[in-house]
Amino acid sequence: MLLNLKEMLSVAKKNSFAVGAFNTTDVALVRAVVEEAEQTNTPAILQFAPGEFKYATPYFFEYVKTRLLDSKMPFALHLDHGKTVEDCLMAIRAGFTSVMFDGSQMKFEENMKITKQIADIAHIVNVSVEGEIGTIGTMGNSDEVGVKDIIYTNPDDVVAFVDYTKVDALAVAIGTAHGIYPKNFKPKLQLDLLQKINTITKVPLVLHGGSDNPNEEIKRACEIGIQKVNISSDIKQEFFKTVSSILNDTGCFMPPKVFNPAIEATKKVVHNKMELFGSLGKAGLYK
């Protein structure tokens, strides 16, 4: 079952949980997320940043779409951190059901203008759009973009942005960063800011940089009003840690014997995230 982001997150918002959005760069990571979702009766979002899209090539998404359409589970196929109109059109042409335009490092008015332009195009073909206000940090060890100094989302901008652009979801900056945090670095989410934003807009809210944050803060953020949590580094780190361990311990280089255990290890991380976000077993809510 292939849904757009608006369809996916409206159910999550109504039932107070968040859906995991996993950056599944290749077939092994796609399998880990899809198979765990099917095993646990859980909705999920598969997403690809522009660099991941170009690595996979558009032909790969013919397989991805077929796999998701053949499943009974609710899935969305999403472009993460599109930086240009062309990025978003590239994904729409490939059959993605939602796209994100990340204009967070632009001036506010320019961000609104281009986000609206993309939303006007995407909505014609039933594709959802995610926008972003504020900036996400970066640890420098991730595929996703980010900045050194986080600019927190200004609640005063939220209503104007959503009303003008007609976005279907809004990524907010409350203190997370892309990548794995260095040892002894302790991120702290501004949950009071999230609560304030949630009271002034009905649009589903998105948390980027969801990997490697304290579980209790992520869980609370989902309870307060986050409906989509992006996970990339956590699943990739587990996958490649397992691959590296097998190669080092056995010297085996046969893909099934190396990748299958890595997929199984990654499924455990995916399962834990689904449980943390409150989405585990919630596929039955989608009709």
pLDDT at site 180: 55
Of the ranges 25-39, 123-137, 224-238, 257-271, which one carries the lowest mean pLDDT score?
Answer: 123-137
Helices 191-200, 155-165: inter-axial angle, 10-degree rounding: 40
pLDDT at site 174: 86
Does residue 140 register a pLDDT over 90?
no
Choose among 18, 14, 43, 6: nearest CA to 122: 6
- The arithmetic mean of pLDDT across residues 48-76, rounded, is 96
Does residue 181 register a pLDDT over 70?
no
DSSP 133: E
Other C-beta atoms within 10 Å of 184: how many? 5
19 Rama class: left (phi>0) / alpha (psi -120 to 50) / beta: beta
- The arithmetic mean of pLDDT across residues 44-56, rounded, is 96
Does residue 133 register a pLDDT over 80?
yes
- The arithmetic mean of pLDDT across residues 251-259, rounded, is 93
Of the ranges 20-24, 54-58, 165-169, 185-189, which one carries the lowest mean pLDDT score?
Answer: 185-189
More confident residue, 247 or 178: 247
Catalytic residues: 80
Does residue 95 register a pLDDT over 50?
yes
pLDDT at site 146: 46
pLDDT at site 214: 82
Please state the pTM of the whole predicted model: 0.90
pLDDT grade for 198, boundaries at 50, 70 and 90: very high
pLDDT at site 74: 98
Instruction: List the domain boundaries for the chain.
Output: 2-235+266-285
Provide the CATH number for the domain formed by 2-235+266-285 in this structure. Answer: 3.20.20.70
